[in-house]
Amino acid sequence: MSRPVLLVNSVTFALKGHELLKMNGISSRIIRNTEFKAIGGCGYGLMIDSDPMVAQNILMRGGIKVIRIIQGGNLL
């Protein structure tokens, strides 16, 4: 099963999001988004091992907007 990816606007937001998720016990990995780059200019994402909705809520509370969530190569 593939891991969900939360797309964000910039590498800066990806770095901040990575730290925020880590502080909340969620492991993530910053990835360069090549397949869906044209979508809203979001060139970076956070690949996670947990529920994407929980991670999205944590990021949003931290001021990081999630542009899209990709699950298994499909946009959610």
Whether 76 is covered by a domain: the verdict is no
Domain count across the chain: 1
Domain that holds residue 39: 5-71
- What single-letter amino acid sits at 49? D
pTM of the model: 0.84
Most confident of 2-6, 30-34, 62-66: 62-66
**pLDDT tens across 41-67, in order?**
668 999 999 999 999 999 999 999 999
Whether 16 is covered by a domain: the verdict is yes
For residues 16 and 43, which has the higher predicted lDDT (pLDDT)? 16
Mean pLDDT of 21-34: 92
Residues 6+ away with beta carbon under 8 Å from 64: 8, 13, 16, 17, 20
Let me know: does 37 contact 8? Beta carbons within 8 Å.
Answer: no
Strands 28-32 and 74-75: unpaired
Whether 65 is covered by a domain: the verdict is yes
- What single-letter amino acid sits at 62? G
Whether 51 is covered by a domain: the verdict is yes
- Band of residue 17 on the pLDDT scale cut at 50, 70, 90: very high
